Each structure stands twice: as structure tokens, then as C-alpha cells.
Amino acid sequence: MNDKKLNQLFAAARRENPPAVPSDFAERVQRELGQATDNAPLSVSFVDQLNRNFARYAVAAAAMIMLCAAVEIGQSLSQEPSIDDDVSQICSDWMLH
Amino acid sequence: MVNDDAELVARVRAGSPDAYTDLVRHNQQQVFSILHRYERDIHLVEDLAQETFTKAWRALDRFDGRAPFQHWLSRIAVHVALDHVRRRKRLSGTIALPDLGEDSVAWLRDELPPRELEARQAREILALAMQSLSPAEQVVITLMEIEGRSVKEICSLTGDSSVAVRVRALRARSKLRKAIEKLEATEHE
């Protein structure tokens, strides 16, 4: 078996014409889709949306955490009461009253 | 009928399911052309084409329009074909090889065949020889040697790296040569 014979096989197979598409093929696809999805095209589930936007949510959450940390560090450096101190104060006020 | 795929996709997304019928009509010949390389039974080709368009419909919200719709659809068709070849390989592992036609046998017997082989006969011989290939090798060699696509196109259609495509093509050619030598030896007996 030489390469020439294999190439002849490929060349002959290349000449084969594709089959004719049935005239009602597109309508059949549409009917099939209508039955399968009850004519609700492209409905996207909550989980799909969550998956698609996961990277954005993750970046937003990370940015929020970094912002809070920066504020907290800034406050502690400037000797001002931190968010923790405020929360402790509110809790003790609420308990005393 | 609107002929612009991008416009049809926009209409489907806007809630017009009829636009999808036009989209199918516009691309059905291309999908049949891809799928008939992997299946000779026309009824099965129709089923595979239907599966391709159903999958495309379900994934249409993920079509971002960066590549033409036809290219995106071709990728789905190639993956449907690959799944089909995998299923067929699992099911037909123990089935005996069907007999070749007389003309195909005569062509195999000739050391230097003087005449050109008909497309149908070539398909018959290749279908037998391809049984020795893995599904991924069958798809790569079909895209490269029968459809005449470049390595870059094949990478884009299959999602494989160019190294993987080249290695598969080389392996597939070598396996095909051996399988055809085996067929020749069988037919000489």
C-alpha cells in the first residue's frame, strides 16, 4: 500500500456530492423544537445566569472586601474608632437600654 | 426571507421563533455536507442534522457573533459527528466487516490501479478502513483529507491544539495504510 493509492482514495471520496436536503427539513426542525421546548426559545435558568456572570460577581465581591479593608486600615492608622468599635458601642448601648 | 444570519439570530433572540426556520433553511446544506462524511445512511444524516440544529437553538444565547454564524454552527456539527462516531464505534465493535462491492475489490487488487475510483466505492473502502481509527482520528483525517481543511481550521472546529491535530492526522494515515494493506491481503486470498 503506497501513499499514492491512499491519496487516490481520498480524492475519490472528495468528489462525492452531499445528499439533497428534504424540502420540509427546516419545518421539521421547528416542529421538533416546538415540542421539546413548548415554544419557549432561549429560556435561561437562574443557575445558567449565575454561571455566566460568576467572574463578574467574584471581582465585585473581591473589590468590596478590599475597599472595606482599606477603610478599616485607614481608620486604624488615623486613630479614629473603627467599624468594630462602632458596632461594639451600638451593641452595648442597646443592651443597657 | 432574510439571508443575513446575524439579522436572523437577532430576530430569534427578540422572540421570533419563525426566524429560526429561515436560519435552518439558510444553513442546512452546509450542515448536511459536513455530516454525510461520517454517515452513509441518509436517514441518520437527517437525524444528526436535526440534533445539530436543536443543539444550536439551545446554545444560541452563547453565540457572541465574533465568528460568523456558519462557522459556529459547523463546530456544533463536527462535535455531533464526533459523538456519533464514538457511539457507532462502541456499538459496532464486534460486528463483522460487510463485504465490499466487486469494483472496490478489483481496485484493491490492482497494485497500480489504472482507473479512477468512483466516490461511492472510495467511501465504501474508507468506511471499512476507518474502523481501525479512533473517533478523534476519523474526524481529523476526514476534515483534512476529504474536506480539504487546513490545520488551523481543524483546530478551530474541534477545539484541539495544532500539535494534537498533526499527530492525529499522521497516526490516522499510518493506520489507514495498514488497514488497507490488510484489506488487500484479505481480498487476494
Note whether B124 and B175 are same-domain residues.
yes
Of the candidates B25, B148, B177, which has its C-beta nearest A14's C-beta? B148
What pTM did the predictor assign?
0.72
- A15 CB near a chain B CB, below 8 Å? yes
Residue A90 lies in a domain: yes
Residue A37 lies in a domain: no
CATH number at residue B82: 1.10.1740.10
Evaluate if residue A80 carries a pLDDT over 80. no
Residue A81 lies in a domain: yes
A90: distance to nearest CA of chain B, Å? 49
Alpha-carbon distance of A5 to B111, in angstroms, equals 9
CB atoms A12 and B116 under 8 Å: yes
- A10 CB near a chain B CB, below 8 Å? yes
Last residue of a domain, which of B70, B94, B118? B94
Residues spanned by the domain of B81: 1-94
- pLDDT tens for each residue of A20-79: 999 999 999 999 888 765 545 455 567 777 777 788 889 999 999 999 999 888 877 776
CB atoms A41 and B12 under 8 Å: yes
CATH number at residue B134: 1.10.10.10
Number of domains in chain A: 1
Alpha-carbon distance of A82 to A75, in angstroms, equals 6
- A9 CB near a chain B CB, below 8 Å? yes
Q: Name every residue whose Cβ is closer than 8 Å to that of residue B154 and which is 6 or more positions away in sequence.
A: B140, B143, B144, B160, B165
Residue A54 lies in a domain: yes
The predicted structure's pLDDT at residue A71: 87
Q: Buried b / exposed e across B98-113, counting CB within 10 Å, b at 16+?
A: eebeeebbebbeeeee
**B100: left (phi > 0), else alpha (psi -120 to 50), else beta?**
beta
- pLDDT tens for each residue of B88-131: 887 765 444 456 777 777 777 776 665 677 888 888 889 888 98
Note whether B135 and B58 are same-domain residues.
no
Residues spanned by the domain of A64: 46-96
